[in-house]
Amino acid sequence: MRARDLGIVIGDLAPGPLNAITDVAGVRVGHTTLISGDGPLVVGSGPIRTGVTVILPHEGDPGREPLFAGSHTLNGNGEVTGLEWVRESGMLTTPIGVTNTHSVGVVRDALVAAGMTAGGRARPWSLPGVAETWDGYLNDVDGQHVRAEHLFEALAGATAGPVAEGNVGGGTGMKAFGFKAGIGTASRRVGGDRGGYTVGVLVQANHGRRSHLRVDGVPVGREIGQDEVPGPDVPAPAAGSIVGVVATDAPLLPQQCRRLAQRAELGVARGGGGGENDSGDFFIAFATGNRGLQPEDAEAAPPTVGLTMLNDNHIDALFWAAIEATEEAVVNALVAAETMVGRDGITFHALPHDGLMAVMGRYGRAPR
Amino acid sequence: MRARDLGIVIGDLAPGPLNAITDVAGVRVGHTTLISGDGPLVVGSGPIRTGVTVILPHEGDPGREPLFAGSHTLNGNGEVTGLEWVRESGMLTTPIGVTNTHSVGVVRDALVAAGMTAGGRARPWSLPGVAETWDGYLNDVDGQHVRAEHLFEALAGATAGPVAEGNVGGGTGMKAFGFKAGIGTASRRVGGDRGGYTVGVLVQANHGRRSHLRVDGVPVGREIGQDEVPGPDVPAPAAGSIVGVVATDAPLLPQQCRRLAQRAELGVARGGGGGENDSGDFFIAFATGNRGLQPEDAEAAPPTVGLTMLNDNHIDALFWAAIEATEEAVVNALVAAETMVGRDGITFHALPHDGLMAVMGRYGRAPR
Amino acid sequence: MRARDLGIVIGDLAPGPLNAITDVAGVRVGHTTLISGDGPLVVGSGPIRTGVTVILPHEGDPGREPLFAGSHTLNGNGEVTGLEWVRESGMLTTPIGVTNTHSVGVVRDALVAAGMTAGGRARPWSLPGVAETWDGYLNDVDGQHVRAEHLFEALAGATAGPVAEGNVGGGTGMKAFGFKAGIGTASRRVGGDRGGYTVGVLVQANHGRRSHLRVDGVPVGREIGQDEVPGPDVPAPAAGSIVGVVATDAPLLPQQCRRLAQRAELGVARGGGGGENDSGDFFIAFATGNRGLQPEDAEAAPPTVGLTMLNDNHIDALFWAAIEATEEAVVNALVAAETMVGRDGITFHALPHDGLMAVMGRYGRAPR
Amino acid sequence: MRARDLGIVIGDLAPGPLNAITDVAGVRVGHTTLISGDGPLVVGSGPIRTGVTVILPHEGDPGREPLFAGSHTLNGNGEVTGLEWVRESGMLTTPIGVTNTHSVGVVRDALVAAGMTAGGRARPWSLPGVAETWDGYLNDVDGQHVRAEHLFEALAGATAGPVAEGNVGGGTGMKAFGFKAGIGTASRRVGGDRGGYTVGVLVQANHGRRSHLRVDGVPVGREIGQDEVPGPDVPAPAAGSIVGVVATDAPLLPQQCRRLAQRAELGVARGGGGGENDSGDFFIAFATGNRGLQPEDAEAAPPTVGLTMLNDNHIDALFWAAIEATEEAVVNALVAAETMVGRDGITFHALPHDGLMAVMGRYGRAPR
């Protein structure tokens, strides 16, 4: 179940056929979901409510064929490895992993190893991109249960096509705005006069306080109180984090990718995110519209590479595609996620679809 | 007339007594408004629809007593002088001027001169902060009609107390979302358990496309069509820019000011701003909660200065104060501005208050 | 007289035919030098020791044909207008002016006006780049003697070919390392296997303390004491600033330009610059190797533009070209500048050529 | 053996008693050195020439008592985890690990675990700082031989006092300028009139090409040819990386720490580093002069914290302390490292002390 299945339509642009990041040709997504155990937390034993999600930016190997990329930070209380090389070179050279906060390292080193075993590096070193949010309310996060094999499994299972949302992969134990959340995705296509490009977004949503939740501008979080849907029985839950990946087939240069990544922040803001102090909010954008950026045999290759660049006069459409897709991806994460009971019996409830639509109706938003 | 006079209340926090940037003690605002001539554009002659606004960050001289400050850029198609020194030192050392794009230089050099005549510099050089947006739809912007005396006049007239909004000062010839706009301001107070601090915002709003305008989440721009309120008869109007100044009496360090400035971007996003390619969107935040940062006699002074810092655990309240105040300041600019006919008869119409409230009502927002 | 005329050869790469920024085809430089009056300072009257230098990045109009560009800041106690748009768009859209600190505004607005009169803008607004250093030891800087006509004159007189150095243009009243300095330039060519590109640098050198001066690694400043060449009779002279422009004909993308600009910092460091607190040290790099970045009729143009990019595997040679050319440009500024007496009789002495070469000889550097 | 033991004295300021980062009170350093096996590379088996170094920023737990910190990047072809939180908060909240490129993740997750077991976190998540350079010429870097226990061992063994240099810890398999290198350290004290503060630097030096090596400005790398000291028999060795940690007891705010970190770049430049494309050059600076930045019981604590700030008028002395200490730390790494034979018999030779001093003498640098 997704937002559009409920009749919630965000923004003006049309989504791609899957309304997912995989509408950008070549992009693949894989999830490994780890759920086991119940009851009191025993660090190292569980309960386990976590996983890893991997986004492959094209059908080949980004270690051999990088893509232009850029990033943006809303609030930096989090980790994304590999960011410095993206910023310096303007290129993405590895798949992107998303997992829990305390398993970033193992996933990062596993991506290094995966590149080696596949022969997938033009250079003898690798600087993988791995992002995180913190699932410690439900998961034994200090148990560090994600292992290299879980990353390998996510890589092996990565596919184009529809993307599972909610309690899957890195999003398994996540929550947002006091409801259960996790992975969400959406896409937009810009008009043919703007090049007909697609922008797809995937988020791992773990951010926001209940009272701030907005769905298409409607103050849903204010309207669905703790009496209607209780929040978890924990003291002063922190606001949490959101990480997002923005993909496009437009031929964007690195600085254009960076600008696209910043527009994801605007989409988060429209949904009620505030980049709170405890939040690690990062967005990486990559563009598949240029390939062959790094010839394999660097020394033998000619010193220059031919490229295409989107004329900036047409970039606003892409900006709005990123804004809309990010805003909708967060709603999709909330709509797809199901109530989960985690460690110590802590429960995050799903956002009730009927309650949600009742509020939308009261605020002039009949299902579209 | 302001948004709250119409019954529009944005967000959860209470405004200060003036609901203006001048709720931060010591902050003063002055406007010089230049309106003359009508009819066809004759570059150098007019018509003139422009001005300059100046924000003094405290009751004294920031050249002798700097304040901690930080900045954030949403989209950099614009100019703000003085930014590099704010970034490097973390301090604001001059008043901030806001004017039209092609008069930044004269205002900047006039602020240099003003500092000299007042004896107001601890150092023999000055790096004033001057921001701009482009009023060339209504104003003979290429005529560069702002002169040094206009800045001096704005400085001399700067006062604490209520702040004029709409078609005044630097905002005189500005428009936003296809309606007449200009200067707007708002403020918020955080709870006593968070320190009881005030955050005030002043914007010069010249940004956004009609269809994107949102007021408290309501798609006002989509609902008030060109048939109801025509836009200007010009081809393909660019999206334009917004600049904002965020003031607080909280004892923020420079990196905290920078973070506060970034939250203004979130407020802009909530109102329908997209940071479009033609937009120069900048926010400067300063904090009056620490003084004495630069002893006058630098060499004789002891090598250290005593300070106070807001504990980051309490900063979220300030973040939301900046988000809400920015969102409301933009609405105030729209509500206060009156229809203006400019060069070549180009007209930007005011946002009609009754039409606005009718839409708000249809979307579940009775006047509060 | 230049460093190489004395037998000082910095680095390993060969310079271009002019050993100047104008070795990059299309680059033109113009100076307006203002020297008048003597004796005690009367603010507004003089003495005047200042000027303006302008660098045109190609033979046409950058407002109609921007170039890719990037910037880097070593220490931000200074002003460079136009930087935000360079950072956001990755493009340079105006000539670059260099003048004194308190005349940045007038030069900036004059560049706006120059673009208008020439019809030289693809868009109706302009965001010119103007940098500065502070010449107030010798010049009546508070008198703000630079006027728009001086910028127009520098533009009109800008030529390819040899570049005047030392006490000219914006460098007229500048000093470095306690000696008279000002404008300096140098260039380098990379090998044909690296593309055969040229890198040219122009600096306005006003930075550094005597004891830190190094020429090709030799501690010249430590060796030429105040007894041999007195410094000015002023209390505690501040360290001052350096600004630099790096040009190349290599097809660099914006992020590559930014990286090139950062290497100018390394050249400054090798010469004894420390980016001191009172220093405004900025470098802008642009690349002429791609043109046609912004089609004139933006809406009618196809959405994409074809480009060429230097393969990063070949960029180190350009990095070292920028390092070497910057280091040598500073020495050229010192070698070319002649002793100047300014306001209040303050004197900055030239670096004595014989004294310099005597020190070089003692440190194993016979003239090459 | 260190540079000063040979009579090489860099710069003007006096070192601390240990001439090491541990001259900053409270700073501790621990190394785990892994050397085993010989002969052909068998990935996963060896030979192993690697390790991990850990820097503890004060005598307590930075997870409970953070320090102000800032960072700077010269060239971003590398990884430093934890940087985003340092940038956002201006605080260092964990020890800093330094290891090889492909073991960053395991060290990062081990630092997470170490914080948990020690109870050493004020918050339930951790974002450790781990930097790297690439030792794959000598070490089986793809074998990922560093394990969590090696990090725990380095932590347990960390001490104040003299710091082992050269082939130890993370520096075990590193080289610089074609010679064997690794860990190096140095310190400087500023005058009592500047506060009497200490700046200490520790580098893991793996950067630079032979011909660029400069020692105190002397072109040592150009003078000691391959005939005198052969480089390794590998094709086209990449330039490699340098990472550095700068510590001070001065009460610097975060933006001042960032500025201090940038001065390390100047020290690298003076020694012949160019921030080449294959180089990951990062510097983190922290300041112990303020404590108590994050009260343990955040909600109960008062909303503000009292601080001290160094007056910027005195910061130049610290800048030069960082420049000098970085330049000398690199030389110390070269002087201390001993010739090492690694995988496949690849050999990096030590910089010969007698050959070095012979060159120094020819360039006017008798031992001081």
What's the gap in Å between the CA of C124 and the closest CA on chain D?
37
List the structure tokens of C189.
């060519």
For residue A280, give every residue at least 6 positions away whose Cβ sits within 8 Å of its Cβ, in sequence order, or none. A75, A76, A77, A78, A79, A101, A132, A133, A241, A243, D84, D85, D127
Query: What would the mean pLDDT of A158-180 be, rounded to a whole number?
Result: 97
Using CB atoms within 10 Å of the CB of residue B238, give its burial: 0 to 12 exposed, 13 to 18 middle, 19+ buried: buried
Cα(A271)–Cα(A338) distance, integer angstroms: 20
| Three-class secondary structure of residue D245 per DSSP | strand
Q: Does the beta-carbon distance from D303 to B311 stay under 8 Å?
A: yes
Residue B47, amino acid:
P
Per DSSP, C80 falls in state B
Return the pLDDT at B368.
79
What's the gap in Å between the CA of C307 and the closest CA on chain A?
5
What's the gap in Å between the CA of A245 and the closest CA on chain B?
19
Q: Which of A215, A216, A276 should be substituted to probe chain B, the one whose Cβ sees the most B Cβ atoms within 10 Å? A: A276
Q: Does the beta-carbon distance from B211 to A12 stay under 8 Å?
A: yes
Q: Which helix (H) or strand (E) holds A16?
A: none
Options A38, A281, A312, A354, the catalytic residue: A281
What's the pLDDT tens digit per position in C248-276?
999 999 999 999 999 999 999 999 999 99
Strand partners, A130: A97
Query: What would the mean pLDDT of D163-182 be, rounded to a whole number?
Result: 98
For residue C117, give every residue at least 6 positions away whose Cβ sits within 8 Å of its Cβ, in sequence order, or none. none
What's the gap in Å between the CA of C3 and the closest CA on chain B?
32
Cα(D329)–Cα(D335) distance, integer angstroms: 10
Options C227, C279, C312, C354, the catalytic residue: C279
Residues of chain D neighbouring B296 (CB-CB closer than 8 A): none
For residue C206, give every residue at least 6 positions away whose Cβ sits within 8 Å of its Cβ, in sequence order, or none. C133, C134, C135, C171, C174, C175, C176, C181, C182, C240, C241, C242
Cα(A222)–Cα(A39) distance, integer angstroms: 31
Calculated CA dihedral for residues A159, A163, A164, A165, nearest 10 degrees: 150
Return the pLDDT at C231.
86
**What is the per-residue burial (b if ≥16 Cβ within 10 Å, else e) of A115-132?**
bbeeebbbbebbbbbbbb
When computed from its CA atoms, the radius of gyration of chain B, rounded to whole angstroms, is 20
Which residues from B are below 8 Å from C when comparing CB atoms?
43, 73, 75-85, 87-89, 101-110, 112-113, 116, 123-127, 130, 134, 136, 141-142, 144, 236, 278, 280, 282, 299
Q: Which of D41, D88, D130 should be substituted to probe chain A, the one whose Cβ sees the most A Cβ atoms within 10 Å? A: D88
C28 has pLDDT over 60: yes
B233 has pLDDT over 80: no
Using CB atoms within 10 Å of the CB of residue B187, give its burial: 0 to 12 exposed, 13 to 18 middle, 19+ buried: buried
Region class of A123: left (phi > 0), else alpha (psi between -120 and 50), else beta: beta
Ranking C123-127, C337-341, D187-191 by mean pLDDT, the lowest is C123-127
Options C281, C297, C312, C316, the catalytic residue: C281
Backbone torsions φ then ψ of C191, nearest 5 degrees: -60, 160
Q: Which of A251, A259, A305 sits opposite C304 (nearest CB)?
A: A251
Q: Which of D78, D103, D126 sits opposite A127 (nearest CB)?
A: D78
**Residues B52 and B170: beta-carbon distance below 8 Å:** yes
A119 has pLDDT over 60: no
User: Known catalytic residue: D71?
Assistant: no
Return the pLDDT at A299.
64
C48 has pLDDT over 70: yes
CB pairs under 8 A between A and C: 87
Q: Does the beta-carbon distance from A274 to B12 stay under 8 Å?
A: no
Place of tokens 């990386």: D241
Q: Which helix (H) or strand (E) holds B76?
A: strand B67-76
Using CB atoms within 10 Å of the CB of residue D233, give its burial: 0 to 12 exposed, 13 to 18 middle, 19+ buried: exposed
Residue B232: pLDDT band with limits 50, 70, 90: confident
Reference A270, options A223, A328, A222; nearest CA is: A328
Residues of chain C neighbouring A253 (CB-CB closer than 8 A): 90, 253-254
Options C23, C135, C241, C249, the catalytic residue: C241
Percent of chain A with pLDDT over 70: 96
Residue A71: pLDDT band with limits 50, 70, 90: very high
Query: What would the mean pLDDT of B124-133 be, rounded to a whole number?
Result: 95
- Sheet of B28-36, strands arranged across: B28-36, B48-56, B96-100, B129-133
pTM surpassing 0.95? yes
Of residues A180 and C237, more confidently modeled? A180
Return the pLDDT at C232.
84
Residues of chain D neighbouring B261 (CB-CB closer than 8 A): none
Residues of chain D neighbouring A240 (CB-CB closer than 8 A): none
Residue D44: count other Cβ atoms within 10 Å of its Cβ.
10
Handedness of CA D77, D81, D82, D84 (dihedral sign): positive
Strand partners, B11: none
How far is the first Cα of chain B from the last one, in angstroms, to the nearest whole number? 15
Ranking A5-9, B213-217, B362-366 by mean pLDDT, the lowest is B362-366
Return the pLDDT at B237.
57
**What is the per-residue burial (b if ≥16 Cβ within 10 Å, else e) of C189-219?**
bbeeebbebbbbbbbbbbbbbbebbbbbbbb
**Residues D179 and D337: beta-carbon distance below 8 Å:** yes
Handedness of CA A306, A308, A309, A311 (dihedral sign): positive
Q: Does the beta-carbon distance from D89 to B255 stay under 8 Å?
A: yes
Ranking A343-347, B116-120, D269-273, D339-343 by mean pLDDT, the lowest is B116-120
**Residues A352 and A223: beta-carbon distance below 8 Å:** no
Q: Does the beta-carbon distance from A89 to C255 stay under 8 Å?
A: yes
CB pairs under 8 A between A and D: 133
Distances (CA, A) of C193 to A298, B362, C10, C189: 12, 69, 22, 11
Q: What does pLDDT average to over chain A?
A: 95
SS3 content of chain D, % helix, strand, coil (to 5): 30, 25, 45
Q: Which helix (H) or strand (E) holds C254?
A: helix C254-270
Chain D residue with CA closest to B259: the answer is D88
Q: Which of C84, C116, C136 sits opposite B79 (nearest CB)?
A: C84
Cα(D39)–Cα(D254) distance, integer angstroms: 47
Reference C136, options C82, C184, C99, C109; nearest CA is: C99
Residue C365: pLDDT band with limits 50, 70, 90: very high
Return the pLDDT at D121.
56
Query: What would the mean pLDDT of C98-104 be, rounded to a whole number?
Result: 98
Cα B138 to chain centroid distance, Å, stands at 20
User: Known catalytic residue: C241?
Assistant: yes
What's the pLDDT tens digit per position in D194-251?
899 999 999 999 999 999 999 999 999 999 988 999 988 776 556 689 999 999 999 9
Residue C226: count other Cβ atoms within 10 Å of its Cβ.
9
Return the pLDDT at A9.
97
Query: What would the mean pLDDT of D32-54 be, rounded to a whole number?
Result: 97
Q: Does the beta-carbon distance from B105 to C126 stay under 8 Å?
A: no
Q: Does the beta-carbon distance from C274 to D266 stay under 8 Å?
A: yes
CB pairs under 8 A between A and B: 82
**Residues D183 and D203: beta-carbon distance below 8 Å:** yes
Q: Which of C64, C252, C293, C305 should be substituted to probe chain A, the one whose Cβ sees the most A Cβ atoms within 10 Å? A: C305
Q: Which of C219, C265, C312 sits opposite D217 (nearest CB)?
A: C219
Q: Which of A299, A312, A314 sits opposite C89 (nearest CB)?
A: A312
Residue C291: pLDDT band with limits 50, 70, 90: very high
Q: Does the beta-carbon distance from C277 to D323 stay under 8 Å?
A: no
When computed from its CA atoms, the radius of gyration of chain A, rounded to whole angstroms, is 20
Cα(B335)–Cα(B82) distance, integer angstroms: 31
Return the pLDDT at B240.
87
Return the pLDDT at A228.
94
Which domains are seen in chain C, by residue range?
Answer: 3-295+308-362 (3.60.70.12)
C55 has pLDDT over 60: yes
- Strands (E) in C253-344, as ranges, are 280-287, 304-310, 340-341
Neighbours of chain D (3+ CB pairs under 8 A): A, B, C
DSSP A163-212: ---BSSGGGTT-EETTEE--EEEEEEE--GGGT--EEEEEEEEE---GGG
Residue A188: pLDDT band with limits 50, 70, 90: very high
Cα(D66)–Cα(D58) distance, integer angstroms: 9
B269 has pLDDT over 70: yes
> Which stretches of A278-337 are DSSP H helices?
315-336
Q: Which of D85, D113, D124 sits opposite A144 (nearest CB)?
A: D113
Chain D residue with CA closest to B304: the answer is D310
Residue C237: pLDDT band with limits 50, 70, 90: low
Of residues A311 and C234, more confidently modeled? A311
Chain A residue with CA closest to C313: the answer is A298
Reference B267, options B220, B321, B206, B315; nearest CA is: B321
Strand partners, C42: C46
Per DSSP, B349 falls in state P
Residue B302: pLDDT band with limits 50, 70, 90: confident
C203 has pLDDT over 80: yes
Strand partners, B334: none
Options D279, D312, D316, D354, the catalytic residue: D279
Q: Which of B255, B305, B309 sits opposite D304 (nearest CB)?
A: B309
Residue D299: pLDDT band with limits 50, 70, 90: low
What's the pLDDT tens digit per position in D67-81?
999 999 999 999 999
What's the pLDDT tens digit per position in A26-69?
999 999 999 999 999 999 999 999 999 999 999 999 998 999 99
Strand partners, A51: A33
